[in-house]
Amino acid sequence: MVRIKQRYLLFNILYPSPPTTTAGSQPTSPPAYILFCRPSPSHLSASLLSMVIRNELHTLFGDHGLSVTQSALRVVYFSPATSSGILRVPRAHFRMVWAALSFITAIPPERDRGGRGTRGPERPCVIRVVRVSGTIRKSEEELLRRARRELVRAKTEGRSKDGREDEVALGMFAGGSGKGKQTSGRASPLMATEDKDIMDLMDEEDAQSTDMSDD
């Protein structure tokens, strides 16, 4: 049996343009780091992200680029709360997919229920690949390590001068709702959800490995 060689790209989505807010709604401007690391829009899913990547591949590399990558191309994990994900790609063409990610500049707006129109404008973004791994488990470990580090940094830099938590930082800890409450001594809901999703992904990977060994 021939093993198909694949690579896993761990990526983050950054948002350089903060959402518009009414004047006076936010007394102090949060650090740029927190603004860049905002949660993704609620309508952004793994399937929509896959479609955006495939469209960009076709735009940059034509039918050839799409045909040599689409068989293995799959967003195996995506978290809107942390705007991070894992993309499975063919090993021979992972740089081609990496280039396509770098050229994506906006997230499509949400469509109406009928699918005829859109709600709001596109949201500018930058997709940054932070790690290329040969196995999905290495990407999962790096994802958890980075998520914990980013939460600590956001909590530290998100404090105002009087020591209170910034509203944006609290929103990140509450899953992006902006109405989170401090939970001293307890894990944040965002981190708990991240750990649970990764554990589900590991269980799925172990089940697939067991099935292959039985065959």
- What's the whole-model pTM score? 0.69
- The total of other beta-carbon atoms located within 10 Å of residue 137's CB is 14
Alpha-carbon distance of 158 to 155, in angstroms, equals 5
Distances (CA, A) of 162 to 26, 29, 55, 166, 182: 15, 14, 47, 10, 16
Whether the Cβ atoms of residue 120 and residue 109 lie closer than 8 Å to each other: yes
SS3 for 23-52 is: CCCCCCCCCHHHHHCCCCCCCCCHHHHHHH
* Domain annotation for the chain: domains and CATH numbers: 7-15+30-109+120-190 (3.30.70.3250)
Is the pLDDT confidence value at 77 over 80?
A: yes
At residue 118, what are phi and psi to the nearest 5 degrees?
A: -125, 160
Give residue 20's pLDDT.
58
**81: pLDDT confidence band, cut at 50, 70 and 90?**
confident
Burial class (CB in 10 A: 0-12, 13-18, 19+), 19: exposed
At residue 175, what are phi and psi to the nearest 5 degrees?
A: 90, 20
Can you name the residues that pair with 119 across neighbouring β-strands? 110
- Mean pLDDT across the chain, nearest whole number? 75
Q: What average pLDDT does the segment 76-93 reach?
A: 92
Alpha-carbon distance of 17 to 187, in angstroms, equals 29
Can you name the residues that pair with 124 across neighbouring β-strands? 106
